[in-house]
């Protein structure tokens, strides 16, 4: 297996991000970490994630931040553009982790942590499908 260039985006104290990073380390897969709280959400990356994963998958409607938003603010997320604006303003509404698996010119994005799909990626140089 050729190791992909892996960038994990999330929040350092998020339990799912911690599990994901620990799993990568246990598999011997080096990765970069981009902390939303310290470094913000790169607008160009957010557009890419929405393009590859879809805004519906990327927007975390189960989290505490979403539940704390007033219903009028929640209702603004009705398409890719409006959801993007909401996620830029409230980075904790992005489902975590978002991972970019890159090898050369190829790039795939995954959202969330799932051991089985990540194992498949690890065995296939970061790519599935």
Between 11 and 123, residue with greater pLDDT: 11
- Provide the token pair at 108: 């795939």
Indicate the pairing of strand 98-103 with strand 32-35: unpaired
pLDDT, residue 129, reads 65
115 CB burial (10 A radius; 0-12, 13-18, 19+): exposed
Checking if the pLDDT of 4 tops 80, the result is no
- Tens of pLDDT, residue by residue over 54-81, are 999 999 999 999 999 999 999 999 999 9
Is there a contact between 24 and 31 (Cβ–Cβ < 8 Å)?
yes
List pLDDT tens digits, range 9-59: 999 999 999 999 999 999 999 999 999 999 999 989 999 999 999 999 999
Buried b (16+ CB within 10 A) or exposed e, 42-53: eeeebeebbebb
Q: How confident is the model at residue 124 (pLDDT cuts 50, 70, 90)?
A: confident
* All structural domains of the chain: 5-123 (3.40.30.10)
Question: Hey, which residues are catalytic here?
Answer: 14
pTM of the entire predicted model: 0.91
Question: For residue 25, what pLDDT is reported?
Answer: 95
* 98 DSSP β-pair partners: 9, 111
């Amino acid at each position: 297996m050729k190791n992909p260039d892996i960038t994990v985006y999330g929040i350092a104290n998020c339990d799912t991000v911690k599990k994901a990073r620990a799993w990568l380390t246990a598999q011997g897969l080096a990765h970069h970490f981009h902390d939303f709280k310290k470094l913000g959400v790169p607008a160009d990356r957010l557009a890419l994630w929405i393009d590859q994963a879809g805004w519906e998958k990327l927007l975390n409607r189960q989290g505490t931040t979403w539940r704390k938003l007033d219903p009028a603010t929640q209702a603004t997320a009705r398409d890719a553009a409006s959801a993007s604006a909401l996620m830029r303003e409230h980075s904790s509404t992005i489902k975590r982790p978002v991972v970019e698996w890159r090898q050369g010119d190829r790039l795939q994005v995954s959202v969330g942590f799932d051991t089985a799909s990540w194992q498949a990626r690890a065995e296939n140089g970061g790519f599935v499908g």
